């Protein structure tokens, strides 16, 4: 394996833990189960975006930016982690947050948006779905800052699906495979949330670089169509492969996106996702989130219960973080009265 080492900011705690899940395995009676703890990347409650932003924000350092402007939903993990790394780098953050799955702007800050505010981010909430493009508003805010003498870096919707974000998770897969090998484990499958696509793209590319046949199962969480996810994965992995200087390439036949667990819409929980969230909490004390990882876990559990894996196979769940959003969904997890 020879791939180029890209420059990184150096913020975040890596490698993240790779752990067995024996009690969940016993509960399900299926394959050997593991979890890759990218919820423990070490900055502002962690998450997979720290791994990606560690490379993406090199541009901010090179351009001597003093502000980072970005966007996502009001309960965005990407936005929280962008604010966190910007803060650690001595920059300020401006967020343009879409209401996304919520019908109105929040009257009370909770979950991720509360943490954004506590870390000092300037927050503007707009009524817009997660799959709509707020780029003109980002540029409007950037122009305001430039007129005041600031040097903002704009991370629009394309930043989170960039080849750089994908390259970060090619490295992430290599890290995970090395940890598994040290435990005498060869990974047969990895489950990951298919939100926008680059994390799954990076995992597939990383497996290709290592010449491994690990299947990467993306569980669609309902933000985008399978067609769009396929297009993003192919495009971003191609760019990442060129960045890394590898001949490995992701083909359409390598992409697995399962849409059976997305539910009604992005950010809308399902009976299966809520059951999965409770089950892993009560077997492994593993806390997952209601938007991404619970639907992913529901997909993994559902496929195991359907007999999709042999008992001698090794299956890993990539915990991409997002736990702060759980507190914005607290009404769904209250004890029954009476």
76 is catalytic: yes
Give the 3-state secondary structure percentages of the chain, helix then strand then coil, rounded to 5: 45, 15, 40
Q: Is 264 helix (H, G, I), strand (E, B) or coil?
A: coil
CA distance 214 to 72: 31
Could you tell me if 94 and 311 are in contact, meaning their C-beta atoms sit under 8 angstroms apart? no
CA distance 336 to 290: 19
8-state DSSP, 17? P
Which residue among the candidates 76, 162, 237, 273 is catalytic per the annotation? 76
8-state DSSP, 161? G
Could you report how far apart the first and last alpha carbons of the chain are, in Å?
A: 60
Closest CA to 180 of 315, 293, 54: 315
- Residue numbers annotated as active site: 76
């Amino acid at each position: 394996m020879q791939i180029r080492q890209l420059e990184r900011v150096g913020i975040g705690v890596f490698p993240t833990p790779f752990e067995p899940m024996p009690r969940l395995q016993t509960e399900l009676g299926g394959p050997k189960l593991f979890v890759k703890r990218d919820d423990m990347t070490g900055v502002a409650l962690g998450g997979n975006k720290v791994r990606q932003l560690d490379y993406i924000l090199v541009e901010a350092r090179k351009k001597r930016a003093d502000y980072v402007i970005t966007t996502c939903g009001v309960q965005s993990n990407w936005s929280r982690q962008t604010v966190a790394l910007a803060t650690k780098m001595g920059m300020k953050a401006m967020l343009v947050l879409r209401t996304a799955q919520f019908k109105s702007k929040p009257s009370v800050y909770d979950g991720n948006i509360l943490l954004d505010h506590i870390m000092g981010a300037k927050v503007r909430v707009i009524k817009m779905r997660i799959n709509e493009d707020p780029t003109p508003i980002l540029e409007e805010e950037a122009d305001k800052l430039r007129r005041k003498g600031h040097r903002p870096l704009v991370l629009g919707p394309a930043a989170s699906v960039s080849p750089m974000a994908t390259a970060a998770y090619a490295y992430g897969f290599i890290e995970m495979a090395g940890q598994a090998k040290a435990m005498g484990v060869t990974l047969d499958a990895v489950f990951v949330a298919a939100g926008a696509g680059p994390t799954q793209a990076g995992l597939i590319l990383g497996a290709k670089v290592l010449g491994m046949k690990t299947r990467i199962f993306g569980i669609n969480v309902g933000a985008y169509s399978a067609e769009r996810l396929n297009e993003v994965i192919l495009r971003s992995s191609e760019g990442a492969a060129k960045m890394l200087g590898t001949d490995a390439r992701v083909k359409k036949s390598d992409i697995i996106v399962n849409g059976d667990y997305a539910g009604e819409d992005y950010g809308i929980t399902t009976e299966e996702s809520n059951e999965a969230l409770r089950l892993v909490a009560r077997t492994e004390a593993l806390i997952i989130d209601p938007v991404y990882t619970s639907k992913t876990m529901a997909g993994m559990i559902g496929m195991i219960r359907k007999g999709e894996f042999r008992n001698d196979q090794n299956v890993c769940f990539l915990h991409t973080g997002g736990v702060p959003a759980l507190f914005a969904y607290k009404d769904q997890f209250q004890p029954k009265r009476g």
